Amino acid sequence: MTKFIIRRLLQTIPVLLGVTILVFSLMHLVPGDPAQIVAGEGASEQTVENIRERLGLNESIPVQYGTFLGNALQGDLGSSIRSGRPVMEEIGARFWVTVELAFYATLVAVFLGLIAGIVSAVRHYTLADTSIMIAALFGLSMPNFWFGLLLIQWFAIGNWMPESLEFLKMRPSGWGDSWRQIILPVLTLGTGGAAIIARMTRSSMLEVIGQDYIRTARAKGVSERIVTYRHALKNALIPVVTVVGLEFGGFLGGAVLTETIFAINGMGRLTIDAIRTRDFPIVQGTVLVISVIFVLVNLIVDISYRLLNKRIDMN
Partner 1 sequence: MSANEIILDVKDLQTSFKTDTGEVRAVDGVSFQLPKGKTIGIVGESGSGKSITSLSILRLLASNGTIKNGEVLYKGQDLLKFSEAQMRKLRGNEISMIFQEPMTSLNPVYTVGQQISEALILHQNMSKKEAAVRSVELLKLVGIPSPDKRVKNYPFELSGGMRQRVMIAMSLACNPEILIADEPTTALDVTIQAQILELIKDLQERLGMSVIFITHDLGVVAETCDYVAVMYAGQVVEYADVRTLFKEPKLPYTIGLLNSLPRHDIEQDKLEPIQGNVPSPHNMPVGCRFAPRCPAATDLCRAKMPKLETDENGNQIRCWIYSEEWDGESEVNLYGETRIAKGRGTKTVLPD
Partner 2 sequence: MSEETVNHPVTAKKINPRLESYKLFWRRLAKNKAAVTGGIMILLIILMAFIGPWIITNFTDFRPNETDLANKLQGPSAAHWFGTDSYGRDIFTRVIFGTKLTLYVGFFSVFIGGVIGVIFGIVSGYYGGRIDTVIMRLMDVLLAFPGILLALAIVAVLGGSLTNVIIAVGIFSVPAFARVVRGSTLSVRKLEYIDAVRALGSSDFRIIFKHILPNIMSPIIVQASLRIATAILTGAGLAFLGLGAQPPAPEWGAMLNEGRQYMYEAGHVALFPGLMIVLVVLAFNIFGDGVRDALDPKMKN
Compute the chain's Rg from CA coordinates. 24
By CB under 8 A, is residue 225 in contact with partner 1?
A: no
Helix (H/G/I), strand (E/B), else coil: 49: helix
**Alpha-carbon gap, residue 302 to 290, rounded angstroms:** 18
Residues in Cβ contact with 197 at an 8 Å cutoff, skipping those fewer than 6 apart: 109, 110, 112, 113, 114, 117, 240, 243, 247
By CB under 8 A, is residue 22 in contact with partner 2?
A: yes
Provide DSSP, 171-214. Answer: -SSS--S-THHHHHHHHHHHHHHHHHHHHHHHHHHHHHHTSHHH
How is residue 231 annotated by DSSP? I
221 interface partner picked from partner 2, partner 1, none, CB below 5 to 8 A per type: partner 1
Which residues partner with 102 through β-bridges? Answer: none
* Among the listed residues 13, 127, 157, 219, the single contact to partner 1 using CB under 8 A: 219
* Among the listed residues 63, 234, 263, 304, the single contact to partner 1 using CB under 8 A: 234
Q: Which of residues 198-217 bind partner 1 (CB under 8 A)?
A: 210-213, 215-217
Site map 201..240 versus partner 2, x via CB under 8 A? ------x--x------------------------------
* Among the listed residues 23, 77, 81, 233, the single contact to partner 2 using CB under 8 A: 23
283 interface partner picked from partner 1, partner 2, none, CB below 5 to 8 A per type: partner 2
Nearer to partner 1, 128 or 275 (CB): 128
Residues in Cβ contact with 42 at an 8 Å cutoff, skipping those fewer than 6 apart: none
Helix (H/G/I), strand (E/B), else coil: 79: strand
The pairs formed by 257-261 with CB atoms below 8 angstroms and a separation of 24 or more are 257/144, 257/145, 257/148, 258/101, 258/144, 258/145, 258/148, 258/185, 258/188, 258/189, 259/97, 259/98, 259/101, 259/185, 260/145, 261/145, 261/148, 261/149, 261/152, 261/185, 261/188
Nearer to partner 2, 252 or 264 (CB): 252
Q: Which of residues 256-295 bind partner 2 (CB under 8 A)?
A: 256-257, 260-261, 271-272, 275-276, 280, 283, 287, 290-291, 294-295
312 interface partner picked from partner 2, partner 1, none, CB below 5 to 8 A per type: partner 1
Nearer to partner 2, 197 or 256 (CB): 256
Write out the residues near partner 2 by the rule CB under 8 A.
11, 14-16, 18-19, 21-23, 26, 29-31, 137-138, 140-143, 145-146, 149-150, 152-153, 156-157, 207, 210, 246, 249-254, 256-257, 260-261, 271-272, 275-276, 280, 283, 287, 290-291, 294-295
Write out the residues near partner 1 by the rule CB under 8 A.
210-213, 215-223, 231, 234-235, 311-313
